[in-house]
Structure 1
């Protein structure tokens, strides 16, 4: 599972300058070829229409394939790559029970005070472990997450123990789904 962020949708479109060049060139050539028959006075009108339709079809075929390639590359670049979980720890509280927290790497989709879902990835599927909230974003970009609702105390103990092999299998997503809320409250 790759851990690096591949870039945003906009940057992938901007970076494909060759595709943009082909589209602009196609538009310019289309305009040029549509004007040539009109400029030649002895050119029959039926041939002008036929030539225009053929050139238009060729242009739209080329543009369709180029635009679909641009959007396909942008879609591939926008796939979600989860941030790496750096550390798990507990914060001691005097009044309430201890808070279990995660520290994750910087990621552009995580903002202050959003709810997140924490999953355990086991080579075949993801299992929802907890729902948390972004508590703080540090000056170095690292993100502190407090686990508000959790399912299994053994998983929390592994997080508090800062078990590196277990933490590598955690996936933090910047959202909670209706299904995860249902699982949480149906327990």
Structure 2
């Protein structure tokens, strides 16, 4: 029981930044990237080793990613307003591998999306919506407004599955596990 609590407390997050996009991977977890391809990322010294497989086992070493400005390891999740999950081609947001996870993208209330563009999100009534701006700080008048989408609901767009979430599943799961261990 103590080792389980220790594992939860010692979770590490690999934060990858490409341009203005931020992706979160939990160290050693299996992530689905579509077309029957799974990846996991493991901190190894000054690098992050990626592994590839057609399942969540039988891993083959893939690329070595040096830690630095575009790939960091931290003990806590970065702050975010909502989380966007990509399930890729996993129909109805259900993976064939039980240990698989979706790709996670954290978004702040105002997220810079380009040199001079941003998106401002708002949550209400179990939905999230966002507006696009021609500024990097969500100021001025929105140039595009998106319809609100339900949080925690699997969405499909041409067989590409996604979900918007407040992202608190993991926090509540850890809390429930912690309480269960205390009993």
TM-score by length of 2: 0.23
Structure number with higher strand proportion? 2
Structure number with higher helix proportion? 1
TM-score by length of 1: 0.23
The higher-RCO structure (CA 8 Å, 6+ apart) is 1
